[in-house]
Amino acid sequence: MNYPNGKKKETGSSGMAAKTNKIFSNRGMSLEEDINTTNQYYLDTDKAIIHKKPTPVQIVKVNYPRRSAAVITEAYFKQASTTDYNGLYRNSYIDFEAKETKNKTLFPLANIHDHQIRHMEAIVKHGGISFLIIRFAVYDETFFMPAEKLFTHWYDKLNGGKKSIAYKKIKDEEYLIPFQYQARIDYLKIIDKLYF
């Protein structure tokens, strides 16, 4: 026994099981956290340079409760943001959006905005790699969808088609990104298969 908490010390194979569970204990993290961790791993291992884009904000009011502290009390978005992430990989420009849904049966296209589609189209037109990462939180599954496939669904919606993409369709036709320890959402493996 370990005092003062009275818990039994983990030893042997049960200790290994606890370590394994600890590795996957972070799977409940948000998609953004997982991508940021993955991008940091890519940067640390000199694999790619990909960062989250800052959202442009106009600060209007600031309070100074102490000399050393400032608190922003009012701010507005300067403009609609484009996509979440961009950077460089194997001499190619990478630009993508990441969305998480709690829906069990579909991904609502309302999660994507017209200006984001236009931005992604411009990236593809100029030879960049653009895509959407979708996580179905209920199943803890993350998928890679090339922008060109997203455009098909988007324009179908605008022409009176479905306002969402069925989970089953995504599962059957898109690329599952398996969860890993270091590169949690290793989307570069899929980019290697599709583009290089």
44 appears as a binding residue in the annotation: no
- For β-strands 141-146 and 129-136, DSSP reports them as antiparallel
Structure tokens at 73: 């009390």
Nearest 5°: the CA angle 150, 170, 127 is 30
Is position 74 annotated in a ligand binding site? no
> Side chain identity at 60, as an amino acid letter?
V
Token pair belonging to 108: 């609502």
Rounded CA-CA distance 187/192 in Å is: 9
The response to whether 34 counts as a known ligand-binding position is no
84 is in an annotated binding site: yes
Annotated binding site for Mg(2+): 82, 84, 97, 116
Annotated binding site: 82, 84, 97, 116
